Structure 1
Amino acid sequence: MTDGPLTGAHPTGTPVPGASFSLLLPVYRGDTAAHFLKAFTTSVQGQTLPPSEVVIVQDGPIDAALAAEIGRVVAASPVPVVHHVLERNVGLAKALTEGLALCAHDIVARMDADDISLPGRFAAQVPLIDGGLDLVGTGMLEFLDEAGRIVGRRVPRTGQAEIERYARFHDPFSHPTVVYRRSAVSAAGGYQSLGMMEDYWLFARMIAAGALVDNIPDPLVMYRVGDGAYARRGGRAQWDSELMLQKALRRIRFTTRGQYLRNVAVRGLYRYVPEPVRRFAYRKFIARGGALSE
């Protein structure tokens, strides 16, 4: 997949009609200029249904190369871009909260600055939100490097009842793939900092508040798997975040006492097993509702 020029051209020649929506794209010091450009172009010029605007939230200081690339993108973008700069790094939950407040539309698509959107992503998701759903995710392809080597595929659970059931054990949505109603996010209390689990915590509260949700099983986002991806899913910090999440889910009675104990035991153990075991478990068991096949 290659980056095209910032011209506003679309794969079909003309944009597909659809509801207006905002693209919310946070960046921080860990992102690179090349990855950001790929994320932006595939989510704007590369879409059959492009966003009506882009809100870039810069979470604290970034390097000069990334700052320059953002400047070029803002100047040449075929759709309006809001570039909101936070003077210090405040974390993803607070950065997304500020970004949501700046979005002009109730329908908001999420995108990370190191992933890739496939061309039909928003054309598939946005009509479902426009038709009455509050939150829609998609499947993902995991890839390793600039050659785009696919190493896994995540196929999410679908249907309201199945997603609600699965959410009692595992996050049923992949955060970088979601499109949602800003009003539904707000009704559930918005993003709240919770260790490294702010997305799962938000989605659980949205479901508990009665949000209408679904997933598209097709992989419409390519998720970059960098060095140490599975190592970062383990360790003390992840365990602390996991325990905070499970206590929070129990506090709002999203889970039963039995589910809480199961989750702490199973998901907690996962944080401390050796990395090769964690990799196998993630692909074959823990993300079964997002099961990965190679």
Structure 2
Amino acid sequence: MTVGEFSLLLPVYAGDDPGFLRLAYESSVQQQTLRPAEAVIVQDGEVPEALAAELRRIVKESPIPCRMVELPENRGLCEALNAGLEAVTFPVVARMDADDVSTPDRFARQWALIDQGYDLVGSGMFEFERDPGIQSATRVPPVGFARIRAHARTHNPFNHPTMMYRVAALDRVGRYQPFGRMEDYWLGIRLIADGARVENIADPLLGYRVGAGAFARRGGWSEARTEWRLQRELLRMGFVTRSQYLRNVAMKGAYRLLPAGVKRVLFRGLIGRGLPGDRA
């Protein structure tokens, strides 16, 4: 089995399911045609005993070196990922969440682009609820720098759980920074603005587990305020024009306040398949 010179970074918290975690880890290590050289699991606060037992089993039985980083209390995804970045050995990191599933060729295909000098490589992903074999939708990201930058003016151009990136590129922009549920979008914007070489693979290389409340969590006044704050930052740094800013504030703020069912239809019908304006 071929091993790549990159680390797998996988955060875990109390709400994760032990069975889902097992599937996520095995799909990202044992089943990969190009395995990570190591895995770093960040335990974000205390976890139930069943999950703790599964973590102990994974560390003990892992076919690659696997280390745990244990945070004393739950600090959220942003701090958990930064703690993991401090612990990794290799200069390239592949993201993975504890309830998703990687396709067997995911890392081999992403590593081929990283090896060409790219700083960040994402991919498409398919949604599923319980069984990864039953796919409900596919999220296709923009491909090519011009389309990625154009898309980033209105929507996150990267599927966060699919990312593989160089730690040095994140170091140049200050790694993950708190920004509500949009810390990944904010990271991508800063990388693009900094001149990082970024790319996406359109094919779905990861299965994204969608729970019943996934679209409800994207809405409400708190999410709308975070959206408006992000748009102000994009305007301040010159990433969007004044007219683009006003359009985004109106349209994206309204989207955040829609009922969850309506957001699901809009997201899958338009945003999840790429917008017509994703061209430079």
TM-score, normalised to structure 2, is 0.95
Match of 2:85, SS state, is helix
AA aligned opposite 2:2: V
Which residue of structure 2 aligns with residue 10 of structure 1?
none
Contact 2:2 2:33 in 1 (8 A): yes
Q: Shift of residue 153 of structure 1?
A: 0.7
In the alignment, the residues of structure 2 paired with residue 179 and residue 289 of structure 1 have an alpha-carbon distance, to the nearest angstrom, of 21
How does 1:152-191 map onto structure 2 within 5 Å?
152-191=137-176
Q: Give the RMSD, CA atoms, in angstroms.
A: 1.4
**Which of 182-191 and 238-247 deviates more?**
238-247
Match of 1:227, SS state, is coil
Match of 1:140, SS state, is strand
Which residue of structure 1 aligns with residue 186 of structure 2?
201
- 2:263 is the alignment partner of 1:278: yes
How does 1:27-66 map onto structure 2 within 5 Å?
27-66=12-51
Match of 1:190, SS state, is coil
Contact 2:22 2:54 in 1 (8 A): yes
**Which of 250-259 and 190-199 deviates more?**
250-259
Number of aligned positions between the proteins? 276
Gapped regions of structure 2 (runs ≥ 5): none
In the alignment, the residues of structure 1 paired with residue 192 and residue 263 of structure 2 have an alpha-carbon distance, to the nearest angstrom, of 28
Q: Which of structure 1's runs of 4+ aligned residues deviate more than 6 A?
A: none
1:213 aligned to which of 175, 190, 198: 198
Which residue of structure 2 aligns with residue 130 of structure 1?
115
- 2:242 is the alignment partner of 1:257: yes
Which residue of structure 2 aligns with residue 103 of structure 1?
88
Deviations along 1:221-269, whole A, 9 cap, x unmatched?
A: 0000011211111112211221222122222222222221111111111
Which residue of structure 2 aligns with residue 248 of structure 1?
233
Q: Shift of residue 171 of structure 1?
A: 0.3
Contact 1:172 1:290 in 2 (8 A): no
Match of 1:156, SS state, is coil
In the alignment, the residues of structure 1 paired with residue 92 and residue 248 of structure 2 have an alpha-carbon distance, to the nearest angstrom, of 32
AA aligned opposite 1:287: G
Deviations along 1:181-217, whole A, 9 cap, x unmatched?
A: 0100111111000111000000000000000011101
- 2:226 is the alignment partner of 1:238: no
Contact 1:39 1:114 in 2 (8 A): yes
Which residue of structure 2 aligns with residue 9 of structure 1?
none
Q: Shift of residue 25 of structure 1?
A: 0.3
Deviations along 1:94-143, whole A, 9 cap, x unmatched?
A: 11111001111111000000000010000000121121000111111100
Which residue of structure 2 aligns with residue 266 of structure 1?
251
Q: Shift of residue 147 of structure 1?
A: 6.2
In the alignment, the residues of structure 2 paired with residue 109 and residue 52 of structure 1 have an alpha-carbon distance, to the nearest angstrom, of 11
Contact 2:132 2:207 in 1 (8 A): no
- 2:126 is the alignment partner of 1:150: no
Contact 2:101 2:132 in 1 (8 A): no
Match of 1:108, SS state, is strand
TM-score, normalised to structure 1, is 0.91
In the alignment, the residues of structure 1 paired with residue 132 and residue 183 of structure 2 have an alpha-carbon distance, to the nearest angstrom, of 31
Match of 2:34, SS state, is coil
Deviations along 1:23-63, whole A, 9 cap, x unmatched?
A: 00001111110111110000000100000000101111111
AA aligned opposite 1:187: R
AA aligned opposite 2:194: A
Contact 2:123 2:203 in 1 (8 A): yes
Gapped regions of structure 1 (runs ≥ 5): 1-14
Match of 1:194, SS state, is coil
Which residue of structure 2 aligns with residue 118 of structure 1?
103
Which residue of structure 1 aligns with residue 2 of structure 2?
16
Percent identity at matched positions? Answer: 52
In the alignment, the residues of structure 2 paired with residue 122 and residue 50 of structure 1 have an alpha-carbon distance, to the nearest angstrom, of 7
Q: Shift of residue 175 of structure 1?
A: 0.3
In the alignment, the residues of structure 2 paired with residue 272 and residue 148 of structure 1 have an alpha-carbon distance, to the nearest angstrom, of 32
